[in-house]
Structure 1
Amino acid sequence: MHSIMIICPDNSPLKESEKWLSRYGFQVNTSSTFEQANRYYELSEFHLLLIDQEAINHLAEGNLELPNTPHHIVLDTKASLSTGVSSMAQGALYYLPLPTDSETLLKHVVNALEKNDNPEPPPEPVTQVLFANTAKETTEKSIALGSAGSGIIGHCPPMQELFSDMHKIAGTHVTVLIRGESGTGKELVAKALHNLSQRHNHPIISVNCAAIPENLIESELFGHEKGAFTGANSSHDGLIYAADKGTLFLDEIGELPLEAQARLLRVLQEGEIRKVGATQSTKVNIRLITATHRNLIDMVRNGLFREDLYYRLYVMELLLPPLRDRGDDISMLAQILLEKACQKHNKPVYKYNQAFDKAIRAHNWPGNVRELENAIERAVILSPPERVEAANLKLASQQEKSHSSPPSPSSGHDLMAGTTLDDYFKHFVLTHQHKMTETQLAHSLGISRKSLWERRQKLAIPKKVTT
């Protein structure tokens, strides 16, 4: 029987997990503080600790350090990127928000206990709900880019050219701008560059600039002093400081507000950061990698992006080809993703059949690899045990054939030939929204409903009129 210690104040939402964890067969003990836990128990004898961040804050108020607790999960009622990074740096297996539903918490408890029971290889911490990955990547340099073990797969000429450029760039400290459509794998390229670099023993911090509210992004990136703004009850180091000696990856750099752009420029020019509300600066040594699907030059012309920052970022550029231009890579990726989806959903691995491959190769993939992965997962969930069926991919092209008359020569894909991704997106939504729900539209495009809403706003696409 696995034993779990819960350390949290009496009013913590985490307290409620004691009863239902006990019902699942775990031996559960609780303490309101670390002092109480150490007084009555030997913490090293527990298989796992669940710790409310408030208990850790209480230690800090008494100038005490977090004890050496190698197997623990931190949960926080005020979850933030900077606290998540700090928790992972102190050895937390996972950092989760509070309240967290029982199903999610149970999944992470089981995963953590499995890591405890199978200590080789060492557990790799992953921040689950935030946008920073502080884990030190374990991909070996000897694994060739393009192979399944490298994390970034491809054999087509555009990908081979990309890999060649990556090998040349990786050993330097230059700033890199990665461009490509949404879903092409820009973060995978950034991580591969980090793993190939001299900084691979230090963290790579990944931040999606579009995912952090504009009023918080400066605090999360650069840190803040206590009292710098309402709610700043303590001082926090930012994510840039957390990336010191390592790599900082800023995804969707085009979404960074102008004021934060000015602060980032100073980091690149002077090699130092200044927290929000601070009067003194701190030196940092980072390698900056950025990514975007937007045209930064157009943004510069329209006053939405600083020209001086653009030229600081545009030292070296890597271009990711869209999935539709990658030839046989599509089939290779699909087979790997099919096996992955089967394992994820505890199904026997389906045989990759010709009809399935034909449907995949016929689709245009506006959502790229992310859309392909979502479509294959749908097919695995919906298909019968004996065979994975192409119809269960639920692709837009399939739905078009089943719900509408055959397209005329001047419509459909012919109309979209040579247009941009935004043009295709707008055309698809306007064409299909009268017969599909927002959820169906999002699934067909391989994106979330939130992303669909955001792109509606960006491209000024009106929603269907209901009467």
Structure 2
Amino acid sequence: MHSIMIICPDNSLLKESERWLSKYGFQINTSQSFEQANKYYDLSAFDLMLVDQAAIELLENPTNEIPENPKHIVLDAKPSLSTGVNSMAEGAVYYLPLPTDIETLLKHVVNTLEQGDQEKATPASEIVSSNPVLFAASEREAALPLGSPGSGIIGQCPPMLELFSDMRKVSGTDVTVLIRGESGTGKELVAKALHNLSQRHDQPIITVNCAAIPENLIESELFGHEKGAFTGATTAHDGLIIAADKGTLFLDEIGELPLEAQARLLRVLQEGEIRRVGATQSTHVDIRLITATHRNLFEMVKNGQFREDLYYRLYVMELLLPPLRDRGEDISILAEALLEKTCLKHRRPPVPYNKTFDRTIRSHDWPGNVRELENAIERAIILSPMDRVEAANLKLASQHHSQGQSSRTSSDDSVKATLPEGTTLDDYFKHFVLTHQHKMTETQLAHSLGISRKSLWERRQKLAIPKKVTNKK
């Protein structure tokens, strides 16, 4: 049994790891400071020390008082690149941010225990150079740890922690990643986080929404074209894939890519070459491809809507984003962060996040996920008084249902009355759009449903809702 000494103040986030590591069979002892640890224990008898940076900062002369034996890992609630480099130079095997999920911590603990005694004398510079990708990725995450508001991806529920673990594992590779999740779950944020943690973080990430580019222009936009390749091509154009050379290309809604463009993309992945529309020569490109979709690509392959060979090229590493309704306490954490962000956006003084507001948010199913939550909170901030935010101003579908006749127009009541008991949100969405689209614009429909126009378009595609037909004379 390996023995580990944890040195941290009582209020440290590292304190919780005592319980985690004990469950995995390690013998754990704790001390509040190096002084206390040296007084009651022979530190050289331990196999490993986990040290909170706050305990090191209390030392008058850290380099003389941190023992060389046993090896130690430093964890920091306020991580920075300079502190990390100094910690490694002073003998730390790893420098990690706090909080750190148990899987990440356990991996580094096991790696440290398995290292041979010869590594004790290895200079910090050699440790860094021997695995620069791992160290660089950990340093970048240390500044903005996944799950924290600063990283852009907020979450601590088990599905999100599993997602973060997978992201860390693939961040140092160039493997192609397919991100799957419902509309509004944050697939683009995951793609950007992967890029920021990768070796290519100093190069551009080019984001392309395949659903937003007209089908007749998408090949030219992605792959470029030669002068005179088609009517209107008055000059040569490089295309977005060339713009992503040495960096990352993120193709959102990859399921909307036309079959002809799919064939061209396949060649880019297979050969690392791109040929402009109308060109005879190919150009070499070096990109890391990340794609995303809310659609079932395998079903599209079976229906002949997506190339099978491209599907297997994309399906190397899959990351799954949970819908907001399955994220438990994350909903409240996200809502509070979005409330603060929205107040800043609209130059409003901060307002308290109250229990009534939270209760209303937690009672909603969020079919539009985080995007719908953000829109609802922005709506509530705009409509509420300056000193508070009112739950009624979220204008959620669940609120309308509970308020009955007084919260809907007579036409809305008639729509609701025609739906059988047990109707799902998708059924209601489809019925609402089909019933109202003849007298509302797409913008009005989206606003009434509390979603964006893009989200409305995506849900039309998902639920196969036809658009209204305009009679031409």
CA distance in 2, matches of 1:204, 1:464: 37
Question: Which residue does the alignment assign to 1:190?
Answer: 191
Question: Which residue does the alignment assign to 1:401?
Answer: 402
Contact kept, 8 Å, 1:258 with 1:306, in 2: the verdict is: yes
Question: Which residue does the alignment assign to 1:388?
Answer: 389
CA distance in 2, matches of 1:435, 1:357: 34
Q: How many residues of Structure 1 are paired with residues of Structure 2 in the alignment? A: 321
CA distance in 2, matches of 1:161, 1:458: 27
Offset of 1:431 from its aligned partner?
7.9
How do residues 161-310 of structure 1 correspond to structure 2 at under 5 angstroms?
A: 161-310=162-311
How do residues 122-141 of structure 1 correspond to structure 2 at under 5 angstroms?
A: 140-141=140-141
CA distance in 2, matches of 1:463, 1:239: 31
Match of 1:236, SS state, is coil
Offset of 1:460 from its aligned partner?
4.5
Question: Which residue does the alignment assign to 1:324?
Answer: 325
Contact kept, 8 Å, 2:324 with 2:366, in 1: the verdict is: yes
Contact kept, 8 Å, 2:430 with 2:465, in 1: the verdict is: yes
Contact kept, 8 Å, 2:174 with 2:288, in 1: the verdict is: yes
Contact kept, 8 Å, 2:183 with 2:458, in 1: the verdict is: no
Question: Which residue does the alignment assign to 2:366?
Answer: 365
Query: 2:457 aligned with 1:447, yes or no?
Result: no
Contact kept, 8 Å, 2:396 with 2:450, in 1: the verdict is: no
Contact kept, 8 Å, 2:187 with 2:321, in 1: the verdict is: yes
Offset of 1:461 from its aligned partner?
3.5
Go from structure 1 to structure 2 and tell me whether the alpha carbon gap of 1:298 and 1:423 turns closer, same or farther (over 3 Å shift).
farther
Go from structure 1 to structure 2 and tell me whether the alpha carbon gap of 1:390 and 1:185 turns closer, same or farther (over 3 Å shift).
same
CA distance in 2, matches of 1:330, 1:404: 29
Go from structure 1 to structure 2 and tell me whether the alpha carbon gap of 1:147 and 1:457 turns closer, same or farther (over 3 Å shift).
closer
CA distance in 2, matches of 1:276, 1:341: 43
CA distance in 2, matches of 1:464, 1:241: 39
Question: Which residue does the alignment assign to 2:67?
Answer: none
CA distance in 1, matches of 2:377, 2:401: 19
Contact kept, 8 Å, 1:366 with 1:445, in 2: the verdict is: no
CA distance in 1, matches of 2:152, 2:341: 13
Amino acid aligned to 1:310: Y
Question: Which residue does the alignment assign to 1:147?
Answer: 148
Contact kept, 8 Å, 1:366 with 1:425, in 2: the verdict is: no
Match of 2:185, SS state, is coil
Offset of 1:211 from its aligned partner?
0.4
Larger radius of gyration: 2
CA distance in 2, matches of 1:450, 1:269: 32
Question: Which residue does the alignment assign to 1:347?
Answer: 348
Normalising by structure 2, we get a TM-score of 0.63
Question: Which residue does the alignment assign to 1:46?
Answer: none
Amino acid aligned to 1:447: I
CA distance in 2, matches of 1:411, 1:166: 43
Match of 2:215, SS state, is coil
Match of 1:376, SS state, is helix
Amino acid aligned to 2:295: R
Contact kept, 8 Å, 2:295 with 2:462, in 1: the verdict is: no
Offset of 1:446 from its aligned partner?
3.7
Contact kept, 8 Å, 2:246 with 2:287, in 1: the verdict is: yes
Go from structure 1 to structure 2 and tell me whether the alpha carbon gap of 1:363 and 1:464 turns closer, same or farther (over 3 Å shift).
farther
CA distance in 2, matches of 1:295, 1:224: 31
Contact kept, 8 Å, 1:224 with 1:238, in 2: the verdict is: yes
CA distance in 1, matches of 2:325, 2:254: 25
CA distance in 2, matches of 1:180, 1:427: 24
CA deviations over 1:407-437 (Å, ceiling 9, x no partner): 99x966x542xxxx85564255468879998
Which runs of 4 or more aligned residues in structure 1 lie more than 3 Å from their structure 2 counterparts after TM superposition? 403-408, 421-425, 427-441, 453-465
Match of 2:140, SS state, is coil
Match of 1:177, SS state, is strand
Amino acid aligned to 1:442: A
CA distance in 2, matches of 1:463, 1:219: 27
Percent identity between the two aligned chains: 81
Normalising by structure 1, we get a TM-score of 0.64
Offset of 1:151 from its aligned partner?
1.0
Amino acid aligned to 2:216: N
| Residues 222-231 or 427-436, more deviating | 427-436
Offset of 1:181 from its aligned partner?
0.3
Offset of 1:442 from its aligned partner?
1.5
CA distance in 2, matches of 1:238, 1:166: 28
Amino acid aligned to 2:287: I
Go from structure 1 to structure 2 and tell me whether the alpha carbon gap of 1:395 and 1:440 turns closer, same or farther (over 3 Å shift).
farther
How do residues 54-93 of structure 1 correspond to structure 2 at under 5 angstroms?
A: none
Go from structure 1 to structure 2 and tell me whether the alpha carbon gap of 1:171 and 1:423 turns closer, same or farther (over 3 Å shift).
farther
Query: 2:335 aligned with 1:334, yes or no?
Result: yes
Offset of 1:445 from its aligned partner?
3.7
Amino acid aligned to 2:202: N
CA distance in 2, matches of 1:428, 1:461: 11
Question: Which residue does the alignment assign to 1:111?
Answer: none
Amino acid aligned to 2:465: I
Go from structure 1 to structure 2 and tell me whether the alpha carbon gap of 1:200 and 1:436 turns closer, same or farther (over 3 Å shift).
same
Offset of 1:449 from its aligned partner?
3.9
Offset of 1:462 from its aligned partner?
6.2
| Residues 428-437 or 312-321, more deviating | 428-437
CA distance in 1, matches of 2:439, 2:154: 36
